[in-house]
Amino acid sequence: MESELYEAVVKGNVRSLLELLKKDKLLLDRVMIRNHTETPLHIAAMLGHLDFMKEILAQKAEMASVQDSQGSTPLHLAAAKGYLNIVESLVRAYPDICFFRDKYKRNPLHVAAMKGHVNVLENLVGARPDAAHSVIEHGQTILHLCVKHNRLEALKLLIDILGNEQFINSRDEDGNTISHPLML
């Protein structure tokens, strides 16, 4: 039955999902406790299947907090793809996933900044501004990531929203601020 579930999520077929859940009310619970690389919610978020994702959240909202083998949540994946409507739904269902970190210590705000998805980044910072102050590997801030990945619009947005002088002048573990060339 799990293979049918994964087939339904790849297609974004909500009707199939509902039929599977009628046959097995614990299907999503079983998926959550197994050692899969990704849950159906991860796949729906990655593929942009909003209606499918909303149905899973309605059935099992805590699935939003499940991390895959890389430590990514469905929100990390949606932020990386720039799917604003999916990001909004996930944040509404489970706002604290903004703080969850992947294996590189990046939260979904970091991922959105690295990819230059300014609208997604603005939504995430609006939901949980403290998550933007999380430091990642090598003591870098989200501002360092914007510079490193040449994301000027994301940098401008973050400085406008979060820009206190101390944060803007934060140094990484090599002593570099965002105005220093990053040696990575």
Q: For the segment 38-80, what is each residue's pLDDT rounded down to a tens digit?
A: 899 999 999 999 999 999 999 999 999 999 999 999 999 999 9
> Residues 56, 40: contact at Cβ < 8 Å?
yes
Buried residues in 78-88 as b, exposed as e (16+ CB within 10 A): bbbbbbbebbb
Q: pLDDT category, 171, cuts 50, 70, 90?
A: confident
* Residue 76 one-letter amino acid: H
| Domain boundaries along the sequence of the chain | 2-168
Residues present in the chain in total: 184
Q: Residue 181 above 60 pLDDT?
A: no
CATH hierarchy code of domain 2-168 = 1.25.40.20
Q: Residue 8 above 90 pLDDT?
A: yes
Q: Residue 184 above 50 pLDDT?
A: no
pTM of the model: 0.91
Q: How far apart are CA 2 and CA 176, in angstroms?
A: 49
pLDDT the model gives residue 162: 87
pLDDT the model gives residue 176: 83
